[in-house]
Amino acid sequence: MGCVVVAAGFFVYAISGRHAVDGRVSSWFMVWGCGLCSLGELLVSGLGLALLAFLLLPFMGKLSRQHHRGAEQQRDARREEALASPRIA
Protein backbone atom coordinates (compact mmCIF):
# COMPACT_ATOMS: atom_id res chain seq x y z
CA MET A 1 0.00 0.00 0.00
CA GLY A 2 2.80 2.40 0.90
CA CYS A 3 4.63 1.79 -2.38
CA VAL A 4 1.45 2.60 -4.33
CA VAL A 5 1.08 5.90 -2.45
CA VAL A 6 4.73 6.81 -3.15
CA ALA A 7 4.19 5.96 -6.82
CA ALA A 8 1.12 8.23 -6.82
CA GLY A 9 3.29 11.04 -5.43
CA PHE A 10 5.77 10.65 -8.27
CA PHE A 11 2.87 10.43 -10.71
CA VAL A 12 1.74 13.86 -9.46
CA TYR A 13 5.23 15.18 -10.27
CA ALA A 14 5.04 13.67 -13.75
CA ILE A 15 1.62 15.18 -14.41
CA SER A 16 2.86 18.59 -13.25
CA GLY A 17 5.18 18.69 -16.23
CA ARG A 18 2.18 18.79 -18.57
CA HIS A 19 0.80 21.84 -16.77
CA ALA A 20 4.05 23.79 -16.75
CA VAL A 21 4.04 27.30 -18.16
CA ASP A 22 7.55 28.60 -18.92
CA GLY A 23 8.96 25.87 -16.63
CA ARG A 24 6.76 26.85 -13.70
CA VAL A 25 3.98 24.84 -12.11
CA SER A 26 1.55 25.50 -9.30
CA SER A 27 2.97 24.95 -5.84
CA TRP A 28 0.04 22.63 -5.12
CA PHE A 29 1.70 19.99 -7.30
CA MET A 30 4.69 20.10 -4.96
CA VAL A 31 2.49 20.00 -1.87
CA TRP A 32 0.50 16.99 -3.08
CA GLY A 33 3.56 15.18 -4.43
CA CYS A 34 5.56 15.64 -1.21
CA GLY A 35 2.53 14.79 0.90
CA LEU A 36 1.89 11.52 -0.94
CA CYS A 37 5.57 10.55 -0.88
CA SER A 38 5.80 11.26 2.86
CA LEU A 39 2.62 9.34 3.60
CA GLY A 40 3.82 6.41 1.52
CA GLU A 41 7.17 6.30 3.30
CA LEU A 42 5.41 6.30 6.67
CA LEU A 43 3.29 3.36 5.54
CA VAL A 44 6.34 1.47 4.29
CA SER A 45 8.42 2.14 7.43
CA GLY A 46 5.87 0.29 9.59
CA LEU A 47 6.24 -2.75 7.36
CA GLY A 48 10.02 -2.54 7.62
CA LEU A 49 9.86 -2.34 11.40
CA ALA A 50 7.50 -5.32 11.58
CA LEU A 51 9.77 -7.36 9.30
CA LEU A 52 12.83 -6.43 11.33
CA ALA A 53 11.12 -7.45 14.57
CA PHE A 54 9.94 -10.71 12.98
CA LEU A 55 13.46 -11.59 11.86
CA LEU A 56 15.34 -10.47 14.98
CA LEU A 57 13.11 -11.59 17.85
CA PRO A 58 13.99 -15.30 17.61
CA PHE A 59 17.69 -14.37 17.51
CA MET A 60 17.34 -11.97 20.44
CA GLY A 61 15.45 -14.60 22.44
CA LYS A 62 18.27 -17.08 21.81
CA LEU A 63 20.84 -14.55 23.04
CA SER A 64 18.72 -13.81 26.10
CA ARG A 65 18.42 -17.51 26.99
CA GLN A 66 22.19 -17.95 26.64
CA HIS A 67 22.76 -14.95 28.90
CA HIS A 68 20.42 -16.33 31.55
CA ARG A 69 22.06 -19.76 31.40
CA GLY A 70 25.47 -18.14 31.88
CA ALA A 71 24.23 -16.10 34.84
CA GLU A 72 22.70 -19.21 36.45
CA GLN A 73 25.97 -21.13 36.03
CA GLN A 74 27.93 -18.31 37.64
CA ARG A 75 25.48 -18.12 40.54
CA ASP A 76 25.65 -21.89 41.06
CA ALA A 77 29.46 -21.79 40.98
CA ARG A 78 29.50 -19.07 43.64
CA ARG A 79 27.12 -21.09 45.83
CA GLU A 80 29.27 -24.20 45.54
CA GLU A 81 32.37 -22.16 46.32
CA ALA A 82 30.71 -20.63 49.37
CA LEU A 83 29.59 -24.04 50.62
CA ALA A 84 33.01 -25.59 50.05
CA SER A 85 34.98 -22.90 51.89
CA PRO A 86 35.46 -23.42 55.63
CA ARG A 87 33.44 -21.13 57.85
CA ILE A 88 35.10 -19.15 60.56
CA ALA A 89 33.03 -19.20 63.72
Q: Is residue 17 part of a domain?
A: yes
Burial of 41 (0-12, 13-18, 19+ CB in 10 A): middle
pLDDT tens-digit profile, the chain (89 residues): 888 999 999 999 999 988 888 889 999 999 999 999 999 998 888 777 787 777 777 766 666 666 667 777 778 888 877 777 766 65
Q: Is 87 helix (H, G, I), strand (E, B) or coil?
A: coil
**Which domain, by its residues, includes 38?**
2-82
Q: Is residue 27 situated within a structural domain?
A: yes
| Cα–Cα distance, 48 to 53 (Å, whole number) | 9
Report yes or no on 66 lying in a domain: yes
Structural domain count, the chain? 1
- Separation of alpha carbons 35 and 31, rounded Å: 6
Q: Quick one: pLDDT at residue 34? A: 95
3-state DSSP helix/strand/coil percent for the chain, to nearest 5?
Answer: 85, 0, 10
